[in-house]
């Protein structure tokens, strides 16, 4: 019978709830003034609040974001998910921030007038 060794995680490398809240508060404070901070805020939220891995965040496409209906969520495709298993991740933390007007033809962010555009699909060689 195989047994797994217990994880040895250095607690000094894990953020506490207070530290997570401090980082989020700082990013929220800076985001309206700094266009470069907004993507950092989104990536941090996806990682810490939704539990997405870096490869899953990097592999997201606009089509993976579902904001219609009562339950907004992300579809994590099988080619980017760990273990090759497709999954759905709820976006309960930002329903007010990702309403249909924000993504489906809405503005890019606070004070922006430019609508979001869908990127053309990548061509395979």
Query: Which tens digits make up the pLDDT trace of 56-83?
Result: 999 999 999 998 888 889 999 999 888 8
Distance CA 52, CA 1 (A): 32
Query: Which tens digits make up the pLDDT trace of 30-59?
Result: 988 888 888 888 889 888 888 899 999 999
Mean pLDDT of 81-106: 65
**pLDDT tops 60 at residue 16:** yes
Q: What is the pLDDT of residue 56?
A: 92
For helices 37-48 and 17-30, give the axis angle rounded to 10 degrees: 150
What is the residue extent of each domain of the chain? 16-103
Distance CA 38, CA 57 (A): 15
Mean pLDDT of 1-18: 73
């Amino acid at each position: 019978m195989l047994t797994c060794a217990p994880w040895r995680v250095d607690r000094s490398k894990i953020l506490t709830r207070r530290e997570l809240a401090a980082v989020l508060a700082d990013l929220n404070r800076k985001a309206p003034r700094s266009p470069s901070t907004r993507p950092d805020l989104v990536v941090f939220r996806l990682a810490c609040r939704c539990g997405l891995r870096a490869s899953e965040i990097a592999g997201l496409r606009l089509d993976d974001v579902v904001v219609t209906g009562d339950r907004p969520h992300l579809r994590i495709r099988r080619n980017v998910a760990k273990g090759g298993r497709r999954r759905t991740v709820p976006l309960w933390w930002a329903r007010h921030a990702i309403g249909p007007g924000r993504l489906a033809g809405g503005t890019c962010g606070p004070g922006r007038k430019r609508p979001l555009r869908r990127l053309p699909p990548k061509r395979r060689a």
